[in-house]
Amino acid sequence: MRESVQHGAGGPGRRYDVFHTECPAREVVDHVTSRWGIWVLISLRSGGLRFFELRESIQGVSEKMLAQTLRGLVRDGLVWREVEPTVPPQVTYGLTEFGREVGEPLTELFDRITRRLSPGGTV
């Protein structure tokens, strides 16, 4: 059973004012650019992962923060969540089409930065 929620796009060509506090796109941008949101999107670029696999791939994230980040990204329609009815339940996460579109430039940014870094970690 997969679940994801997507907010209405507002029609083709519609632009949102992300600088306005009431803008619905602002919350999505906040989730994507949160401390852990970027790493979740980059980690899921190769395919679906179970919760513990995500936690292991993103060093430093706590279970609580990963769960909160995933909840927001699922609610925004960037990530899908699939629950296998086993005991205990197996939960897998992956990128929706929207999540792949949003994650693509983040992945490119990450790749550009890592290509420019010297072995010592400086540009």
Strands 2-3 and 90-95: unpaired
Q: Report the chain (123 residues): mean pLDDT per 10 consecutive residues.
A: 49 70 82 89 94 96 97 96 93 96 90 83 67
pLDDT for residue 33: 80
What whole-number distance in Å separates Cα of residue 36 and Cα of residue 62?
A: 10
Q: Are 32 and 69 in contact (CB under 8 A)?
A: no
Q: Is 102 exposed, middle or buried (0-12, 13-18, 19+ CB in 10 A)?
A: buried
pTM comes to 0.77
